[in-house]
Amino acid sequence: MQRSRIKALKIYNSSFYLRQEIESNHGLGILVGGRFSKIAFELSYLSSTHDVTFLGAKGEADYNMVNLGFKYFFSADKRFQPNLLFGLCVPRLVVKDGSSDGTVGGDATFNGFGLNIGSGIAYYFNPRVSISGGVIYRWISYGSAEGVSGGSK
């Protein structure tokens, strides 16, 4: 199983956030969008829950993200249509009991910004109905954290 790491051993306003190992997991999402010839836009919301390990303790994290993506289709007049995706994302990660001020523990909330790049292919059954698949590489930076002693950047 793939793991992602948050490098979050930082001190903000007398709180510290523990370096966590977050297990990958499946989630749910919703997407709306529109297409104009070779260009399409998509707005999506994704949500998932993950198991977390920090300092040997098991925990849970909630992950939510809003994406705004733009696709360019190379062969807009064919049934098989390869495409490139570029976009922005705004992630939010809440780690339950992932913050402490040394005496009291509480949730840690990480907010960030990211960039998406990807490619895919769509098969059009008719001009309005298709099935598609693709891969996305997502670069994310968490620029702010909030815990038991408040938030900081």
Q: Residue 111 belongs to a domain with what CATH number?
A: 2.40.160
How many whole angstroms from its chain centre is CA 71?
18
Domain housing 25: 3-152
pLDDT in tens, 53-63: 876 778 898 99
pLDDT in tens, 36-53: 989 999 999 999 999 888
Reduce the secondary structure of 39-104 to three states and give it as a string. Answer: EEEEEEEEEEEEEEEECCEEEEEEEEEEEEEEEEECCCCCCEEEEEEEEEEEEEEEEEEEEECCCC
Q: How many CA atoms lie within 13 A of 109 on its CB side?
A: 10
Q: For residues 132 and 23, which has the higher predicted lDDT (pLDDT)?
A: 132
When divided into structural domains, the chain yields a total of 1
